[in-house]
Structure formats: C-alpha cells, structure tokens
Amino acid sequence: MKNKIAFAAALALVCAPAASFAGTSVEINASGTASSFCDISNTGGPINMTISANKDKLTGTGTYLFSANGDATVTLSALTPSAPQGAATYTPSVSLANLVTSNSTTQAVDSATKSGVNKITGAITSEIIQNNASELLSAGAYSLATTATCTAL
C-alpha cells in the first residue's frame, strides 16, 4: 500500500509540469508614466544686432524652438541692457514671436498658458530702440541679456 501511495505521488509530480504545458497562455501587463516636461532653446545661436537704416535702433534676429507635452508657460526675465556711457535714452525689447514679448527692465513677463502638446518654432527679435527727442541711437556697443524660462505645469 505504501508503495502504491509513493508511486502515485511520484507520478503526480512528474505529470504536473506536463499538464501546465497543455494549454499555453501568457499575460502581459505594461504600464508607465510619461513625465511632463517643456523646453525652450535658442536654435539660431548668438544674436548680433545691427543699426537700422533710420539710425534709430539696433535689431537682431534669431530663432527659438519651444516644445511641451502638457500645459506650460514661457517667461522672459527682466531685461538687462547695457549701453555706452552717456548714451541717449533708449528702450530695449525682446520678442519670441507668438509666445511672449518684453520691454521691461524691472519685471518678468509671462506668456499665456500653452495647453496640450506643442512644438512651436518662431523668430526671436531683439531691439534697442532710441527713446529721445533726436530719435537717434548713440554710437557705441550695446548688449541685451534675458532668460527665457519654460515651466511645465
């Protein structure tokens, strides 16, 4: 009797794996989370500004690329211009076409929230425009600095 029980147990062990191969099914579960992100880049490289034919402003252009996979905003920090010593008054400005424009040297300027997925290419225009009675820009070297920040919400 003991032998029969032992034989039956051994048979069950041997046959069990075979039974599991009888019907093959594989369950695949995949899941993941895409981080929300945004990025903005100056794809045109350094921007050089040259004087206009009317002698009233310096203008330079470049290109930007903005992309985001969800709601995002773009902000231009307060502009930091520099001008020759004693220069006549002027106004700086930076524009990212269809996103945000700033001529403020004291405050950051925000774009409207861009919803959904976006990939936008546009022009960057930087200007130093005279703001004086003679409507002329003083001679010398000018510079303009700002930071374009995109924020993924």
Partner 1 sequence: MKRCFLLLAVLWSGQVSAQTVFLEKKEYTVRNQTARVKLQVSHSRSEPVSLTVRVKGPTSDPTKAGEVLTEGVAISPSSFKLAPNKMKKLTLTLTTNVTQKTPYFVCALYIPPVERKETQGGATSGSALLATESCSRFWVTP
Q: How far is the CB of 15 from partner 1 (least distance, A)?
A: 37
Q: How far is the CB of 105 from partner 1 (least distance, A)?
A: 14
Extract the tokens encoding 82. 């520099």
| β-pair partners for 114 | 72
- Residue 64 to residue 85: CA distance in whole angstroms: 32
Q: Does 118 bind partner 1 (CB under 8 A)?
A: no
Residue type, 26: V
Binding flags for partner 1, 51-90, as an x/- string (CB under 8 A) = x------x-x-x-xx-x-x---x-x---------------
Q: Does 100 bind partner 1 (CB under 8 A)?
A: no
Q: How far is the CB of 131 from partner 1 (least distance, A)?
A: 15
Measured from the Cβ of residue 84, the count of other Cβ atoms closer than 10 Å reads 12
Contact pick of 20, 25, 35, 85 for partner 1 (by CB under 8 A): 35
- Tokens 């002027």 -> residue: 90
- Residue 150 to residue 74: CA distance in whole angstroms: 4
Total site size for partner 1, rule CB under 8 A? 52
Residue length of the chain: 153
Q: How far is the CB of 133 from partner 1 (least distance, A)?
A: 18
